[in-house]
Amino acid sequence: MRGLPDTLGTRMAVGLCVVFVLLPVATSVAVATSVSSARGLWGDGVTLQWLVTGWEQISPTLGRSTAVALGVVAANLVLGGPLAMWLARSPSRLTRAVSFLATLPLAVPGIALSIGLITVYPQLRPSGLLLFLGHVLLTLPFTLAALTPVLADQELQDCENAATTLGAAGWRVLATVTVPFSATALVQVVITAFALSFGEFNISFFINPPAAPMAPFALFDAYSTQRLELASAKTVLFMLCLVPVLALLVAARRTPSTRKARP
């Protein structure tokens, strides 16, 4: 094909999209370090004071959100792993019905689900258990979508059968065949569940125990009541917490997949 103009056009379009995505991120950093952003970015000078104040105010909620997100990841692996295994390997009318159920949290808006949740389980709300379970419910469909096709793979099942025939115990087959084979999908599960739970706002807004706000809730509070610089500082700190997750994402993409080459 006539490569050059096309490539140039594509490169410019990709560049524009990168700017579209990153400009607000860069702006929030600039506003967070401006003394007074209303007088232009860094108009009255550069300061780290907003970031320091922001950190003092938001760090407890960041810690809480991280803890909840890690718990949600664990619950996804513990509950979602066996469920995906069953969905992948015992196809029946029942698995189809459960697969359909698993799409509900994707299709139904979080605010609708949360009104149902607080109506049915008000007693689970103060402890934060309802919030946690709501997050697990919301992330589980993504876990199933990532794991089920991999676990259904015939090649994986052949390998497992070979290992078993050769005398390996069940746990050993799981640990040395199944888990390594599905490593890419498992990493994807960890990243997705963590990021979704950490940034979840719709359910958290309604179910949040008022005494223990989650990070997105604290951000929302800052957006409605605080000055732009402090709100930006908190946003920057929030995004920094996602950097390890994104680094993991980049690393996972860099690792050449053992089997199927990435397109």
| Part of the chain binding other proteins (CB under 8 A), chosen from 48-56, 114-122, 181-189 | 114-122
Between 52 and 112, CB nearer to other proteins: 112
| Part of the chain binding other proteins (CB under 8 A), chosen from 44-52, 56-64, 76-84, 180-188 | 76-84
The single-letter DSSP state of residue 178 is I
| Buried residues in 13-40 as b, exposed as e (16+ CB within 10 A) | eeeeeeeeeeeeeeebbbbbbbeebeee
| Part of the chain binding other proteins (CB under 8 A), chosen from 47-55, 56-64, 100-108, 181-189 | 100-108
- Interaction of residue 181 with other proteins, rule CB under 8 A: no
Between 54 and 105, CB nearer to other proteins: 105
Q: Token digits for 142?
A: 């993504």
How does DSSP assign 38-103, residue by residue?
Answer: GGSTTTT-B-SHHHHHHHHHHHHHHHHHHHHHHHHHHHIIIIIHHHHHHHHHS-SHHHHHHHHHHH
| Buried residues in 192-225 as b, exposed as e (16+ CB within 10 A) | bbbbbbbbbbbbbbbbbeeeebbbbbbbbbbeee
| Part of the chain binding other proteins (CB under 8 A), chosen from 33-41, 44-52, 53-61, 182-190 | 33-41
Residue that has been written with the tokens 């930006």 in this structure: 232
Among residues 42, 47, 205, 226, the one that binds other proteins under rule CB under 8 A: 205
Shortest separation between residue 74's beta carbon and other proteins, angstroms: 13
- Interaction of residue 240 with other proteins, rule CB under 8 A: no
Measure the CA–CA gap between 40 and 47, rounded to whole angstroms. 14
Shortest separation between residue 49's beta carbon and other proteins, angstroms: 19
Kindly report the backbone phi and psi dihedral angles of residue 92, in degrees, each rounded to the nearest multiple of 5, phi listed first: -160, 180
Asked whether the beta carbons of 222 and 230 are under 8 A apart, the reply is yes
Shortest separation between residue 179's beta carbon and other proteins, angstroms: 11
Which amino acid is located at 42 in the chain? Answer: W
Asked whether the beta carbons of 201 and 220 are under 8 A apart, the reply is yes
Residues between 47 and 66 with contacts to other proteins, criterion CB under 8 A: none
Shortest separation between residue 52's beta carbon and other proteins, angstroms: 20
- Interaction of residue 93 with other proteins, rule CB under 8 A: no
Residues between 125 and 154 with contacts to other proteins, criterion CB under 8 A: 133-134, 136-137, 140, 152, 154
Shortest separation between residue 237's beta carbon and other proteins, angstroms: 12
Between 63 and 91, CB nearer to other proteins: 91
Among residues 6, 45, 74, 149, the one that binds other proteins under rule CB under 8 A: 6
